[in-house]
Structure 1
Amino acid sequence: MSAAERRRRLRLALILLLLGAAGLLAGLMAGSEGWDLAALRLSPGGELILWDIRAPRSLGAGLVGALFGLSGALAQGLFRNPLADPYLLGSAAGASLGVVIVLAAGGLLGAAIPMAGADLIQRLGLVGAAFVGALAGVSATLALARGAEQTTRLLLAGVVVGVLLGALNDLVTLFSPDALRGKQSFLLGQTGLLGWPSVTVLALSLTATLPLAWRLSRVLDALALGEDSARSLGLALPRLRVALVVLMALATGTAVAQAGLVAFVGLVAPHLVARFVRAPHGYRLVASAAMGGVLLLWADVIARSVIAPQELPVGVFTAVLGGCYLLVLLWRRGLR
């Protein structure tokens, strides 16, 4: 590695560290009445708002973004496609179906998803349903593809499972219209219900998946050279692909279960890292996780501040920003 490349990597790490710290501070300051941390600490109940609402929400948003960034980097490395995202293998459709089934069966209406008045048991039921549904969608994709031996077959199986689960989702909603409101809230993505229990779950998931993904990063480096080259290195590609898919499913399922379907973070974060540095997948995975955390943290801060005292769903905001980024990227490449 050249000295210039080493400096670029160090510069990116410092930028992400500074942006992350600034985002956490902004998350503590941003509220429905403007940005004023000192006034909040002096007001009655200010400490409660600061440490029990804003702090876990900001930390949780960063952890959700980190999981999406990690799973997006895994997906793009596994499929060797810069347009691959964490929802590619049916996890999004499965999570959405799980939530809709719980809403329809329990008659939870929209009260379990919106920002206030949600019962803890109902919330845990929806979180569990989203997580199980995401893992079930990925499991169905693996079963249909007969493992992960061929990436093309795995990709096509993910598309088929996503369409099928999406159709079942619409069918359940058709017979239970009351579940539509909760489904829409889940699909928009939200961070308003993230508390310290959610932060704990997200931190444990990231702590478990990131080191394992880093250990398997050499597999992605080998796959970047081509299937034949990877096999010539003696790698058990089918088994290692399954391991990568499982890690991607765990990271995506945990993030989706806690914050809903937040769009484009998992797709854009690895792109931004690749534009800054050229590095093996070990560095890319860690940097993509950090980039995803910074992106979603700042998106959450802006989404709850831009039209205060009201809030924008963070998933809508990230979709707009991510879509604009990809349009600009495609436009620039079209000029070359």
Structure 2
Amino acid sequence: MAWTARLTGTSTRLGALLAALLLAGLALGLAVGPLGLEPPWALDAEARRLLLGEIRAPRGLGSALAGALLGLAGALAQGLFRNPLADPYLLGSASGAGLGVVAVLAAAPLTAGAAAAWLPAGLAAGLGPLLAGTGLVVAAFVGALGGVALTLALAGGAARPLKLLLCGVVVGVLLGALSDLLMLVSPEALRGKQAFLLGSTGLLGWEAVRLLGGVLLLSLPLALRGARVLDALVLGPQTAASLGLALPRLRMALVVVLALCTGCAVSQAGLVAFVGLVAPHIVRRLVVVTHGPLLALSAAAGAALLLWADLAARWLVAPQELPVGVLTAVLGGLYLLVLLRRQEVAG
């Protein structure tokens, strides 16, 4: 039976609500500018074309797509590790992305010096912006995937989730230490790393939208195909193996999807905290479903969370702008504290 056939009336209503929130957020995003609410019809034709078509529209879509990838990755991580506190950054992707960013920033002065000595002046002058833009995105993506690959290598694959989780912690500490050592050699890399760690959706453009959308279109069907593995793992590894599932191979495939989602989102928006952790929690609090609908609804919840967090970051202190990762960390932390408090009272 397809997972779509197992949707309950409650989950269908939740999906409709999340879709409405996404559409409303995308529409409102077209009217939120540096001065707060700026209705599109108040702008002249050229300003509408530039602001709506090249800045606000891709930023809103990019925020929603990055949030969807983080929500999907969070649901996968929590299902794989059977731990509601698992998040997409557990396997070393965050520290790997941070190390990649710091490495590029630390190497930029050396690269610029070598370029000035060996390349024509025009080409050398264009190298700096390239490193500051595309180079950082590529470094974050490669670093995130490299961190997960190192974790998998140390753990000997994905057959033992507890060992994989512990290796992820070790890799996170190791790569974080290497990043700190690089910053001692090149202190100017600290500011760039801080901006990356705070998370930002301000530079999302149509290229980012195409990349994020493509990865989501690839990852979501693959994750849904592996949903039955996560359903079986709820009963325990032994029971899941007795059902004839090749758990090591299927776990590895889901870990690859998790790494791809996380690496892509991190490379475009930085380390946006708590979205991947909170989105599946919200869905499970509202509906009881198997992992197929949970994965899809978590992606939609993550999209809505990051989109509305981006709107709040742009509007709350306009004309200044808050780092969206700081806002999601505060709101996500408060949500989890309230949730834990309610569980203590109920217990």
- TM-score range for the pair, normalised by the shorter chain length: over 0.9
Residue type at the aligned position of 1:251: C
2:256 to 237, 246, 250: 246
Does structure 1 residue 290 correspond to structure 2 residue 292? no
Corresponding position of 1:7? 9
Does structure 1 residue 64 correspond to structure 2 residue 66? yes
How far did 1:274 drift? 0.3
Could you tell me how far apart the structure 2 residues matched to 1:325 and 1:53 are?
Answer: 31
Could you tell me how far apart the structure 2 residues matched to 1:283 and 1:119 are?
Answer: 42
Corresponding position of 2:333? 323
Residue type at the aligned position of 1:184: Q
Mark the runs of 5 or more structure 1 residues left unpaired by the alignment: 109-117
Q: TM-score, normalised by structure 2?
A: 0.91
SS at match of 1:107: helix
SS at match of 1:87: coil
Corresponding position of 1:165? 175
Q: CA RMSD in A?
A: 1.7
Contact 2:102–2:183 (8 Å) recurs in 1: yes
Corresponding position of 2:154? 144
1:105 to 86, 104, 107: 107
How far did 1:45 drift? 2.1
After TM superposition, the structure 1 = structure 2 runs for residues 21-40 of structure 1, keeping only pairs within 5 Å, are 21-40=23-42
Residue type at the aligned position of 2:37: W
Could you tell me how far apart the structure 2 residues matched to 1:328 and 1:77 are?
Answer: 23
Does structure 1 residue 235 correspond to structure 2 residue 245? yes
Mark the runs of 5 or more structure 2 residues left unpaired by the alignment: 111-127
How far did 1:175 drift? 1.1
Could you tell me how far apart the structure 2 residues matched to 1:54 and 1:107 are?
Answer: 33
More displaced 10-residue stretch of structure 1: 197-206 or 28-37: 28-37
Could you tell me how far apart the structure 2 residues matched to 1:298 and 1:180 are?
Answer: 29
Corresponding position of 2:115? none
Pick the structure with greater CA Rg: 2
2:216 to 195, 203, 206: 206
Q: Deviations over 1:76-121 (max 9, x none)?
A: 000000000000000000000000000000139xxxxxxxxx8245
SS at match of 1:84: coil
Segments ≥4 residues shifted beyond 3 Å? 38-41
Residue type at the aligned position of 2:26: L
Corresponding position of 1:113? none
Could you tell me how far apart the structure 2 residues matched to 1:75 and 1:40 are?
Answer: 45
% identity of equivalent residues: 63
Q: Deviations over 1:52-83 (max 9, x none)?
A: 00000000000000000000000000000000
Does structure 1 residue 49 correspond to structure 2 residue 51? yes
After TM superposition, the structure 1 = structure 2 runs for residues 260-275 of structure 1, keeping only pairs within 5 Å, are 260-275=270-285
* Counterparts in 2 of 1:236 and 1:93: CA distance versus 1, 3 Å: same
* Counterparts in 2 of 1:250 and 1:40: CA distance versus 1, 3 Å: farther
2:164 to 154, 161, 168: 154
How far did 1:137 drift? 0.3
How far did 1:36 drift? 2.7
Does structure 1 residue 219 correspond to structure 2 residue 221? no
Q: Deviations over 1:17-47 (max 9, x none)?
A: 1100000011111111221324444365232
Residue type at the aligned position of 1:268: V
SS at match of 2:317: coil
* Counterparts in 2 of 1:295 and 1:46: CA distance versus 1, 3 Å: same
Contact 2:78–2:84 (8 Å) recurs in 1: yes
Could you tell me how far apart the structure 2 residues matched to 1:122 and 1:34 are?
Answer: 28
How far did 1:174 drift? 1.1
Corresponding position of 1:174? 184
Corresponding position of 1:184? 194
After TM superposition, the structure 1 = structure 2 runs for residues 79-158 of structure 1, keeping only pairs within 5 Å, are 79-107=81-109, 119-120=129-130, 122-158=132-168
Could you tell me how far apart the structure 2 residues matched to 1:329 and 1:230 are?
Answer: 30
Could you tell me how far apart the structure 2 residues matched to 1:136 and 1:84 are?
Answer: 20
Residue type at the aligned position of 1:230: A
